Structure 1
C-alpha cells in the first residue's frame, strides 16, 4: 500500500482502507485511540475524507497503520528477508530460524547472540495470511510461568522482528539490562510503559522516564505465534 497525496494507482484510497480495517476489527476511532495511544483526531480526520484534501502526511499514515496492524509500505522495493523454503505434497513451506536462547517470562540473564541451531518449517500460505515474514522472524523458548496461561514454561514462541512499535495489549520480547524478557506491554503515551504478566501471581511493573526508552530501544519484536510442549 503506497501512501502519497492524491495517488491512487488503481488501489483503494487510504481512508477506505482505514474504515474497512476498523470494520474488520469491530473498532472505531475512539476505541483504537484508547488502545494504541494515537490521537483520535488523526484517525477521525482520515475517515472523514474530503476528496479536495490530500491524504495524510507519511508519518500520520505510519502511525495509523501501526495502530490498526496494517503493513506500512511505500513501494516498489520490498525488503522482506528471504528464508529457505521447501515444497511438501505440492504445498510450499518457509523455514524460521530457532535460536538456542530463552526469553524469561519472569527474570533471568539470557543471551540471543550466536547462530541458529535449526529451522522449523511453516506453511507459506499461513505465514502470508498472518502477515509474517519467515526471514524476519525467529523462534526461541520461554522460561518462567509469568505469562501463563497464554505461554507456558518451555513453550516455543515466534518473534516478528519487524514489529518493534509498541501496541498496547500485545506480547513483546525485549532486552532489559542483561535480561531478555517476555511481557504484555501497555503504553501510556508520554507517561509510562506497563509490563504486565498474564499470571496474576506476578504484579505489573511500571517503567517511567528514561526507563521507557530502555524498553522501547530494547524491543526485539512482537510474539506472533506460540507452540506448547505437552508433558
Structure 2
C-alpha cells in the first residue's frame, strides 16, 4: 500500500493569514533586492531617491510594508511594475478543465535542462504530470508557465524531503537574492534545486550578502554546510525555488 501526503510551503485556509502576509513581504523583498543588485545601487540610495530619506527599504526589510503609492514609486524607480488586478499571464502554459475549474499542467524539468547533471528519473516518473489550479499559482504570485516539476535526487534534505519526492519549483528565482539575517541572527533561507559543479541536489540556501552563498541540508549530521565566496559562486547554477512537495510512503 502507498500512502501519500504533500507539503505546501505557502498554504493557508484564510484569505489573509500571517503566512500569506509573510509570503507577500518576502516576494516583494526578493524582487526589490534583485532589482537593486541589477542596477548596482544601495537600498539607501534608492530610498532617498524615492521618498527623500533612507528608511523606505529598511522598513520593508523589517516587515513594515509602506503605502501602495510608495511601493509604486519605488518600483517605478527600480524599473519594475507594480500591478494590482486580475492575474495576468505571459507565454503559453498547458491547461486542462476539471469539473469546471482550470488547472495548469506543470511540466517536468527534464534531464536535458541540466548541464552535466547526473540526476536520472525512473521511466514511470518521467511519464507523470501534475495539475494545479491556476488560482493556486495566482495567490502565490507565480505564473504557471514558470513552474517546473522535479524529483528529489537524494536524502540530503531528509526527513523533510526524501529521495524521489515530487517537487514543484518557481523557476524564476535564480539566482537567489540577498536576504540579510534577522536582528537576532536567524537564518532567512529558502529551499532551492541547485547544481554544484554539475551535481544536482536540493538544499537550503542562504545568501546573507553578495560575497557569499551558503548551502546546507536538513540532514546536518551527514551533510555539513558549504559556503561559496567570491568566484566560487560561479560553481553554482540555481534551477528554481521549491514552493511545494509531495512525499510518498512505502508500506
Q: One fold, TM greater than 0.5?
A: yes
Query: Does the alignment pair 1:204 with 2:191?
Result: no
Q: Measure, in 2, the Cα distance between the counterparts of 1:26 and 1:45.
A: 16
From 179, 188, 194, give the equivalent of 1:174.
Answer: 194
Contact 1:172 1:183 in 2 (8 A): yes
Q: Measure, in 1, the Cα distance between the counterparts of 2:79 and 2:110.
A: 38
Number of equivalenced pairs: 188
Q: Deviations over 1:152-202 (max 9, x none)?
A: 111010111112241541111122222122111111213311101111222
Q: Measure, in 2, the Cα distance between the counterparts of 1:57 and 1:222.
A: 23
Task: State the 1:99 CA deviation.
Answer: 4.4
Q: Deviations over 1:22-55 (max 9, x none)?
A: x933999xxx79xx79847451478678x99x93
| SS of match in other structure, 1:98 | coil
Structure 1 gaps, min length 5: 1-20, 63-70, 102-107
Q: State the partner residue of 1:230.
A: 249
Contact 1:42 1:60 in 2 (8 A): no
Cα 1:183–1:26 change in 2 (3 A) is closer
Contact 1:81 1:136 in 2 (8 A): no
Q: Measure, in 1, the Cα distance between the counterparts of 2:24 and 2:151.
A: 33
Task: State the 1:136 CA deviation.
Answer: 1.5
Q: State the partner residue of 1:67.
A: none
Cα 1:211–1:228 change in 2 (3 A) is same
What is the TM-score when the length of structure 2 is the normalising length? Answer: 0.59
Two-structure CA RMSD over aligned residues (Å): 4.3
Query: Does the alignment pair 1:24 with 2:21?
Result: yes
Higher relative contact order (CA 8 A, sep 6+): 2
What is the TM-score when the length of structure 1 is the normalising length? Answer: 0.63
Q: Measure, in 1, the Cα distance between the counterparts of 2:58 and 2:151.
A: 41
Structure 2 gaps, min length 5: 1-17, 35-41, 45-54, 112-116, 178-187
Q: Measure, in 2, the Cα distance between the counterparts of 1:211 and 1:58.
A: 34
Alignment of 1:11-90 (within 5 A): 24-25=21-22, 39=43, 41-44=55-58, 55-56=73-74, 58=76, 60=78, 80-90=90-100
